[in-house]
Amino acid sequence: MRLILVLLCVAAVSFGLIMLSPIDPIDAYLGSQMAQVSPDQRALIAEQWGFDAPPAAQFSRWLSQLLSGELGWSHIYNQPVSDVISQRFQRSILLLGSAWLLALLVGFALGIIAGAKEGSLLDRLICGYVYVTASTPTFWLAMLALLLFSVYLGWMPTCCAGPTGVVNQDVSTLTRLHHLILPVATLALLGIAAITLHTRARMVALMRSDIALHAFAQGATRFDIAWRHGIRHASLPAITLAFASLGELFGGSILIEQVFAYPGLGQATVEAGLRSDVPLLLGIALFTALFVSIGNLIADSLYQLIDPRISKEQP
């Protein structure tokens, strides 16, 4: 119920923002042919697409369409919105999912290692690395990586999800993965820093706690404490952060997909925004909101698995 309200708010706000946008969808559609089209023809297109109705009527029509399971027609791709989203999402989820998983695993491991012995050489090295990446803008890092690995070294492809000029079906899995490496690595770097810092902070607190002192009294080593107690305790902040950053990851993927010309959902969002494709933009906004909400829902249920003190009965 609350989820539906959230989605409705997201849709309404996005719609309002698009209405305020200075980009006229018909101008954007026509492009350079704008001068050759008469006002009558423009009015015809507007009528065809339903732009002549007042905004409130447009929105309510979109809503009633949505209730019957129809997301509308994307005029820039000339396809149903649901098709565009599902195609794009299949590519994006590969990029987003692997980047997210990589960030979570690497960030968590680095955080545990750094926090296990506060002030050690390893800790200082990891912290220094994390501070640097945490303060680096994603798109800049992406461009640097592109320059270094694709242009100078030539190890990686420069763009897209597969070689240009080859039909999508003919691209082998290996080639696809090859095209994924650089965007995934760059996107993962974005998430690693935050997860490492939070995991490390929890680990440092644990190492100073009565729990660690008691474990030391039992003859446990630092590694033992990090392995048995640390992983349990530090996974709470790591999970919170990982699922809460799903939205951020979507934002990051928009930039990354632009830089690497990767045809995913992020790129479609930018296209939809620049060319005022209202149904597509609304569809993507709804879909993203749904995705992030489900992520948070998963995080909430994972807490209960890890920390028995958080239970459903409590308000």
- Interaction site with another protein (CB under 8 A): 209-211, 213-220, 224, 228-229, 232-233, 306-309
What radius of gyration do the chain's Cα atoms show? 24
Beta strand residue intervals within the chain, DSSP E: 73-74, 79-80
Cβ closest to another protein, residue 60 vs residue 209: 209
- In the bound complex, what is the minimum distance in angstroms from residue 158's beta carbon to another protein? 47
CB of 228 to another protein, least distance (A): 6
Nearer to another protein by Cβ, of 124 and 228: the residue is 228
- Whether 59 contacts 10, CB under 8 Å: no
Cα 218 to Cα 184: distance, rounded to the nearest angstrom: 43
CB of 238 to another protein, least distance (A): 14
Determine how many CB atoms are found less than 10 A away from the CB of residue 301: 10
| Shorter beta-carbon distance to another protein: residue 101 or 220 | 220
Q: Which is nearer to another protein, 55 or 119 (CB)?
A: 119
Tell me the backbone φ, ψ of residue 198, rounded to 5 degrees. Answer: -70, -40
Report the candidate in 237, 231, 243, 233 with the shortest Cα–Cα distance to residue 109: 231
Q: Least distance to another protein from the beta carbon of 127, Å?
A: 20
Min separation Cβ 217 and another protein, Å: 4
Residue 212 CB contacts under 8 Å (≥ 6 apart), including other chains: 206, 225, 229
> Looking at beta carbons only, is 56 or 310 nearer to another protein?
310
- Cβ atoms within 10 A of the Cβ of 294, count? 13
* C-beta closer to another protein: residue 135 or 218: 218
* Shorter beta-carbon distance to another protein: residue 308 or 315: 308
CA distance 110 to 132: 15
> How many other C-beta atoms lie within 10 A of the C-beta of residue 162?
18
- For residue 306, the minimal CB distance to another protein (Å) is 7
Within 70-120, where are the H helices? 81-116
Give the shortest CB-215-to-another protein separation in angstroms: 8
Cα 171 from Cα 113, distance rounded (Å)? 40
Cβ pair 259, 151 in contact under 8 A: no
* C-alpha span between 8 and 25 (Å, rounded): 23
Query: Rounded distance, CA 100 to CA 94, Å?
Result: 10
Tell me how far, at minimum, the Cβ of 271 lies from another protein, in Å: 47
3-state DSSP call for residue 220? Answer: coil
In the complex, least distance from residue 222 CB atom to another protein, rounded to whole angstroms: 12
Nearer to another protein, 177 or 310 (CB): 310
Distances (CA, A) of 18 to 12, 13, 177: 10, 9, 36
Q: Which is nearer to another protein, 16 or 119 (CB)?
A: 119
